[in-house]
Chain A
Amino acid sequence: MIYVKVYGRGNAGPETHRLESFPSAIGRALDNAIIVNDKSVSAKHAVVERTSGGYALRDLGSTNGISENGKRAETIDLRQTKSVRIGNVWFEFSNSEDPVEETVRVDIHELASGGSWPHAKGWLVCGGLVLTALLVRYLDYAFLRVSFTAHALLTKSLSFVMAAAGLAAAAAVFSKVHRRRYQFYPLFATVLGFSIVGDLHFTLFNLVAFNLNSPLAAKVLDEFVGGAVVFTGGLLLGKLLFPETPPRRRAAFILTGIVAVTGATYGLRAVNERAQIPDIDTTLALPLRSFPPEEHGLDRLDAEIDTLETSIAEARREILKKEAERGNESTR
């Protein structure tokens, strides 16, 4: 008798099967003993057979194969408890109902180096994204910054190496703790995506601020586009890290986080304003657009000063009023 646990994507826990008759087939098709609804699993993927000493899993010529410890195999001996990947789905085969604790179905090495994207795909996607990120950064330096230095690109590349190392370690730890498979390549790809969008956003912000001379447009770009990027990225990361959590709850959590951070930022700004440091728009405008001088004469400045004067006079009256009240209190 063989006990099989199937760790499906997004499931709350593993699905347990007991195989009593052999051979028992595993695959996507409905006539299998264990039916796995995953694109990476072929219709008839593999079969569990009785052998001379016990049981074995044999590949039925599937597309994505079966693998143990990250190595693709034709057959896998099931005399001991084994963690096996079939397509992108993790299985645990054991001869007793409650496998001992050590047989963690996740192989840390495999996670850090492979995840569920095959290496070829992982390297291709992540490498491509790294190049794109560096290109975006280079364009930023070439067109916006005063000087381009190789140092800047080197720093950026180094930051990717460090991010990759950090993510691999985090994925390993999370996997161990959650007894669940975290995928390195998709995580790294998400981080790279963030980096690219962030750089693009900054470049775009400068371009808009300089060309439109519209503080409003710049603000919208900064707050809303920035917020949207963070939200989308957050959703992706959340899906990767907490697949068990319902998507709606994840989205609500991320949205709350964004609102809280934005709120705190504006709160701090308000405190600053009380502390006499108000916001002023200090972005210049590239004179690509022509400004009719008659609309921007210095008398317009004087008019603005007059408007400001009303506020200052008002603030002064308030302070004097408060002081007078305090004076009355202390003499009483």
Chain B
Amino acid sequence: MLARLGFLFAFSVSTAVSAQAPESPALPALSSPGHAVYQKVGPMVFKVKTAISADSPKASYGTGFAVAAKGLLVTNYHVVADAVLQPRQNKIFVVMDKESVPARILGIDVLRDLALLKIDREFPKFLRFASGAPRQGEPIYSIGEPEDLNMAIVVGTYNGELRYGAYAMIHMSSPINSGMSGGPTVNSRAEIVGVNVSKNAFSDSLSFAVPARFARELLEKGRGRETPGTGELLEEMGGQLHAVQDELAADYLAAAAGAQSFGAWRLARASSLLKCWSQKEEDEGDGKYESTRQSCQLPHSSYVSNRLHSGTYSIELDAIDGRRLKPLPFFTLLNSRFGNDARPTDGLVLFGEPGPQLLTRQFCFSRIAANRAGLKFKVAYCSRGYVKFEGLRDASISAASLTPPPHGLLLQLDLRGFSVSNIKKILDATLNSIGTGT
């Protein structure tokens, strides 16, 4: 730990020294494009924090950047989320020359994790949006304050935009770190390409930014707007979450109109938005049965708080072929797997959870149901409601076929932030699509 700290101090000292170096005319600006970009962009990028008051230590922090002269900044919604969900305990401040300037939220795009802030200051300079996306492989520069050290610039490469319905992300190959969230990613002309948002924790230098066009839209909508109250902001976020789940449900249902064969079963085709894995195990239980599993999930979600991600879903299938099993062992097997998967996904929380209560507790039922083709299922259904956003639910649904051996099907559907009517439609479409024979 000490060694690490020593390293970090050494690091910050050396950057402080190099920050002075450009004053000397020895290095021509062209030979160091990173430095040129930092010189241009650096003064328009600030640390953003939430805290009880201006002097108190931060509750959370990130980075923000100036986008208009009238004190408008863009940052990530997740940097200021505490101030939206617990406004009494958390105020937003923009740190300018070590002074904490209070900021207000003018607008939120919860799907893209963006927030538009306003402070009562004028920005002499602000960043401009790039007219188009860079080409793949072009260098891009991400600016922000990693781990509360100092403002840093990171060079990476642009690797295109990933789209999952309403969701879109820039795929960057660059080592950005926490604290840089909400900072700008710019091209070599110092124009905004995106907003730093996240990195893949299990990979190296695989990072993501929100495409600049969403920040621009948010700016256009929020410019000149009266400061909305927290209630109004939450209502807008609710509207956005409702819209994205409508879109995801429509996409799910459209895909489900087609069929895929899975083991000995026919069932709804998975949406092309999903990323799927599959695996076949041929000799389980001393070679008495085969199991084919498929697990698909939407690789994106809407961040609401660090414990609540909405607007996403996953579906898992397990087809069991128990040709060499007698009926009773076959059902014991199915039963044990059903029991394993049917649990709601949250862990055991014995001592209450910190933070605002965003979800109601779970409510569950289980029941036998037959689909249109007359196939019987046992369905275990658990659901909880969003407290701040009316009409949205998380639902965790497990279904197991109650058809005679040797073929069994287990299905686990996890829907996050869906309306009840969409949950019903998705459940009905999924169960009704199931049939035997390929």
Contacts and interface: CB of A to CB of B under 8 A. Distances in A.
B427 interface: yes
A301 B348 contact: no
B413 to A, nearest CB: 13
A283 B380 CA distance: 10
B362 A283 contact: no
Contacts of A285: 368, 378, 402
B349 to A, nearest CB: 4
B58 to A, nearest CB: 21
25 contacts: A144-B332, A146-B285, A146-B286, A146-B332, A209-B335, A210-B328, A273-B361, A275-B350, A276-B349, A278-B361, A282-B335, A284-B400, A293-B370, A293-B374, A296-B367, A298-B369, A302-B424, A302-B428, A305-B381, A308-B365, A309-B420, A312-B393, A315-B360, A316-B386, A316-B390
B382 A312 contact: no
B27 to A, nearest CB: 56
A300 interface: yes
Interface in A133-148: 143-147
Given A144-B328, A275-B350, 4 more contacts: A146-B325, A296-B367, A312-B385, A315-B360
A45 to B, nearest CB: 56
A297 B382 contact: no
Q: Which DSSP category, helix, strand, loop or mixed, fits chain B's interface?
A: mixed
A327 interface: yes
Given A276-B346, A298-B369, A316-B387, A282 B285 contact: no
A113 interface: no
A297 B285 contact: no
Interface of A is mostly: helix
Which 4 pairs of residues, A with B, have the shortest CB-CB distance? Answer: A315-B360, A312-B385, A146-B285, A293-B370
B367 A146 contact: no
A281 B366 CA distance: 6
B308 interface: no
Contact of B342 (A144, A282, A304): A282
Given A284-B338, A301-B369, A305-B424, A278 B328 contact: no
B382 to A, nearest CB: 7
A301 B399 CA distance: 12
Nearest to A296: B370
A316 B360 contact: yes
Interface of B: 88, 285-286, 288-289, 325-329, 331-335, 338-339, 342-344, 346, 348-350, 356-357, 359-372, 374, 376, 378-387, 390, 393, 398, 400, 402-404, 420, 423-424, 427-428, 431-432
Contacts of A309: 420
Residue from A283, A300, A308, A316 with most neighbouring chain B CB atoms (10 Å) = A308
A305 B376 contact: no
A300 B402 contact: no
B370 A297 contact: yes
Contact of A281 (B329, B343, B360, B380): B380
A275 B349 contact: yes
A275 B343 CA distance: 13
Interface string A263-300: 00000000111111111111111110001010011101
Contact of A315 (B385, B390, B424): B385
Contact of A312 (B286, B363, B374): B363
A155 interface: no
A286 B344 contact: no
B15 to A, nearest CB: 43
A72 B431 CA distance: 76
Interface string A308-319: 110111011001
A214 to B, nearest CB: 11
Among B328, B372, B423, find the residue whose CB has the most chain A CB atoms closer than 10 A.
B328
A301 B334 CA distance: 21
B366 A280 contact: yes
Nearest to B388: A320
A52 interface: no
A144 B329 contact: yes
Contacts of A283: 335, 339
A272 B334 CA distance: 25
B329 A143 contact: yes
B365 to A, nearest CB: 5
A301 B427 contact: yes
A304 B326 contact: no
Nearest to B390: A316
Given A145-B329, A145-B332, A210-B328, A304 B381 contact: yes
A284 B363 contact: no
Given A277-B362, A282-B339, A305-B424, A312 B383 contact: yes
B347 to A, nearest CB: 9
